[in-house]
Structure 1
Amino acid sequence: MKTLLKPVFAAGLLLTASATAMIAAPAAAQQTAPGVGVVSLPAVIVNSDAYRVAEQQRPVTYKPQIDQANARRQQIAAQLQPLYTKLQADQQANVAQATLQQQAIAIQQIEQSGQAELQQITAPIQLSRAYVTEQIEEKLDEAVQAAAAKRGVSLILDASTGQVIYAAASYNMTQDVLSEINTLLPTVQLVPPQGWLPREMRERQAALQAAQAAQQGAAPAAAPATTPAQPTGR
């Protein structure tokens, strides 16, 4: 079960049409208990009570960052608009290509700088979303096992991996797992604790530290100094 329930999102959550369909399967079809179940883990996450409540709370909790990002985005757009207008006018006027290229480079630099600034402003928001998702992921394994026990299912496939070609509606256990996750984790903490990092970054840091420790342990020890042999004589 551990291999089935790896973290499903690295950054951001998108509910696909197939994931939505997994939730919308007829309740009557779910009453059959087959030996194999199919679950859309992304659908469970984004439809869970904990995730939806967090999504509703986040615009309030992080309103200062959202307002700051929107204001800065408008400022950047106002700064770029006359540059775009001038570039288009110069192109129509057949201005020298070198001049046009310089204008395009200036626009690109402003765009890249602005994007980096916006990412920095909204970083706490993205960190909050990753924190919420990870808390739910930690309970997925328990929720799947509980749902499987109630349905008498011995094998569950993850529909989000694309490995399922066809599954009858009676195999759909997404709603069962969703019910279990809502019971196990009705709410989650919205604001990460100080210094918290997403799992991927924690694992990367741990791997780097392990590699550094291995390199230090493999460093050859310095050869002890030897005293040259004294000549013997009468």
Structure 2
Amino acid sequence: MKILLKSALAAGLALGTLAAPLATAPAVAQTRAPGVAIVNIPAVVANSAAYKQAEQQRPVTYKQFYDQAEQRRAAIGAQLQPLYTELQTLQQSANPDRNRMQQLSQQIQQIEANGQRELQQILAPVILSQAYVEEQINAQLSPAIKTAADKNGITLVISPDNVLYADSTYNLNQAVLTELDALLPSVQIVPPQGWLPAELREQQAQAQAQQQAAPAAAAPAASGR
């Protein structure tokens, strides 16, 4: 069983925010209907000891990057404020200069886009840390779910995405969380030098395989000339 978590590298960072909390796990009943159970993976991960520890440590370990990003965000906001004010004034005027309004809109969009890229570059080590933590937790999710299912007589585990209704007896969150915490009480938040998320490692491996295959494919063509 393979559990997929959305990589932090794929998540954009808004100019006004640096982090967003995940939903908490719902309460778990004492008894469950046999055979089938529902597990909310994001809720389990967010409530795991390893994830909480990482979330507490990261602002300390990466404080310089958070501070730098906040300073840059404030500077971008200060740069945008007079443009917003001028645009709003023009919009409220009786005879607005539409050429100037278009110019301001384009300028604002460009500054926002550039600012977004800057913040992502500044926070790249933080994003990489998030991906590293998620990958460590992801590696233990499958065995945690299997152990929890075996202990509770569950033969089918589903996510809540496609469930229209189920009462709390089908909730296996706490059982999975208990097993996950036992398997992985803590994680490393600083990736090794040169570490890349699995998605990027796979892309590199595919590119390398294609490069190695190219000379082999060219050899028969050359010998036939």
2:47 match = 47
**CA displacement 1:103-159 (0-9 Å, x = unmatched):** 322222222111111111111111111111110010011111211222122222233
Mapped contact 1:37–1:173 kept (Cα < 8 A):
yes
2:25 paired with 1:25: no
Say if 1:95 and 1:43 are closer, same or farther in 2 by CA, change over 3 A.
closer
TM-score norm. by structure 1 comes to: 0.81
Q: Report which stretch shifted further, 5-14 or 105-114.
A: 5-14
2:4 corresponds, among 4, 7, 13, to 7
Q: Report which stretch shifted further, 206-215 or 112-121.
A: 206-215
SS in 1 for 2:139: helix
2:179 paired with 1:177: no
User: 2: CA distance between counterparts of 1:85 and 1:201?
Assistant: 42
1:76 match = 76
**Percent of residue pairs bearing the same amino acid type:** 52
2:142 match = 141
User: 2: CA distance between counterparts of 1:137 and 1:223?
Assistant: 48
**CA displacement 1:68-94 (0-9 Å, x = unmatched):** 111111111111111222233344263
**C-alpha RMSD over aligned residues:** 2.3
User: 2: CA distance between counterparts of 1:166 and 1:95?
Assistant: 53
Unaligned runs of 5+ in 1: 226-234
SS in 2 for 1:193: coil
Q: Report which stretch shifted further, 137-146 or 36-45.
A: 36-45
> Larger radius of gyration, structure 1 or 2?
1
User: 2: CA distance between counterparts of 1:158 and 1:105?
Assistant: 43
User: 2: CA distance between counterparts of 1:35 and 1:6?
Assistant: 20
Unaligned runs of 5+ in 2: 12-19
1:37 match = 37
Mapped contact 1:15–1:42 kept (Cα < 8 A):
yes
SS in 1 for 2:189: coil
User: 2: CA distance between counterparts of 1:37 and 1:105?
Assistant: 51
User: 1: CA distance between counterparts of 2:134 and 2:99?
Assistant: 49
Say if 1:211 and 1:175 are closer, same or farther in 2 by CA, change over 3 A.
same
Q: Which amino acid aligns with 2:132?
A: Y
- Cα drift, residue 223 of structure 1: 4.0
SS in 2 for 1:36: strand
Matches within 5 A, 1:1-234: 2=1, 5-11=2-8, 15-16=22-23, 20-21=25-26, 24-26=27-29, 28=30, 31-32=31-32, 34-91=34-91, 92=93, 94-159=95-160, 162-219=161-218, 220-223=220-223
User: 1: CA distance between counterparts of 2:34 and 2:88?
Assistant: 63
User: 1: CA distance between counterparts of 2:128 and 2:59?
Assistant: 14
TM-score norm. by structure 2 comes to: 0.84
Say if 1:171 and 1:89 are closer, same or farther in 2 by CA, change over 3 A.
closer
Mapped contact 1:33–1:171 kept (Cα < 8 A):
yes
Say if 1:109 and 1:32 are closer, same or farther in 2 by CA, change over 3 A.
closer
Say if 1:90 and 1:174 are closer, same or farther in 2 by CA, change over 3 A.
closer
Residue-pair matches, total: 213
